[in-house]
Amino acid sequence: MEVLLNRVRNNDPKIKEIDITVGDDERMQMLCNALRENKTVTKLLMGYSELSGTKHLEQLSEALEVTKIRSLNLRNCRIGAEGVKVLLSRGIMSSLSFLDLRYNELGDNGVIILSNAVQSKKAGGLKTLLLAGCNISDEGAEALSEFVMKGLEELDLSANQIGNEGIDALTQAMIVMGEKCKITALELRENRIGDKGAISISLALAS
């Protein structure tokens, strides 16, 4: 790890992607120090890191603020709604095109925080948002309709608790956008979608 981060710190042009798991203060500090000095890395994968508290997320948010990173993978990092709030506190969403938060306990509150970032024009360039297994219900799905309105292309909401009302909100946003809707991939398996929700999806796809 130390060799890799030294190369990152020295802006090795061959390193465009970092794949690392962080579980303690020392490794996080080393990573963030390297990121602050780097201008070449565009993709950061930190899946399965231990980020359940706010300390590490504060450090990460501060470091990401000055990087060129466009793709961020924080899959299964034990991040909750409060963690999302800390992560986005420095406006990093404005530079991201890809965000993977699958299998974190965001809940509806976490999703609403993400949606608020979009409404405040801090996430205009986001194209892919992965939120499978994040304990999202109809309220969260309704909030996510803001992403559809802002040009999102890929949205993964599989393995959540979304029912007909949430699906209706998402599909209505797609219908309102019409030809301007950029959604090309919408994953909804393993939710609570009934016949009404299925009809809403069909209408949106046909519009």
**pLDDT beyond 60 at 37:** yes
Distance in angstroms (rounded) separating the CA atoms of residues 81 and 120: 18
- Model confidence at 148, in pLDDT bands (50, 70, 90)? confident
pLDDT on residue 125 = 84
Which helix (H) or strand (E) segment holds residue 45: the answer is strand 43-45
Alpha-carbon torsion (44, 118, 136, 141), positive or negative = negative
- Average of per-residue pLDDT across 112-134: 84
How many residues does the structure list for the chain?
A: 207
Distance in angstroms (rounded) separating the CA atoms of residues 25 and 56: 7
**pLDDT beyond 80 at 73:** yes
Distance in angstroms (rounded) separating the CA atoms of residues 81 and 83: 5
Are the C-beta atoms of 66 and 95 separated by less than 8 Å?
no
Lowest mean pLDDT among 38-42, 69-73, 131-135, 176-180: 176-180
pTM over 0.75, yes/no: yes
Q: 155 - beta bridge partners?
A: 129, 186
pLDDT on residue 136 = 98
The tens digit of pLDDT for each residue in 76-106 reads 999 999 999 999 988 888 889 999 999 999 9
Count other C-beta atoms under 10 Å from residue 13's C-beta.
8
**pLDDT beyond 80 at 207:** no
The tens digit of pLDDT for each residue in 7-34 reads 999 999 999 999 999 989 999 999 999 9
- Model confidence at 200, in pLDDT bands (50, 70, 90)? confident
**pLDDT beyond 70 at 124:** no
- Model confidence at 195, in pLDDT bands (50, 70, 90)? confident
DSSP 69: -
pLDDT on residue 91 = 83
Distance in angstroms (rounded) separating the CA atoms of residues 163 and 33: 43
Distance in angstroms (rounded) separating the CA atoms of residues 140 and 137: 5
pLDDT on residue 179 = 87
The DSSP code sequence of 97-156 is: SEEE-TTS--HHHHHHHHHHHHHTTS-TT--EEE-TTS---HHHHHHHHHHHHTT--EEE
Selection from 49, 42, 48, 46 nearest residue 17 by Cα? 42
pLDDT on residue 156 = 97
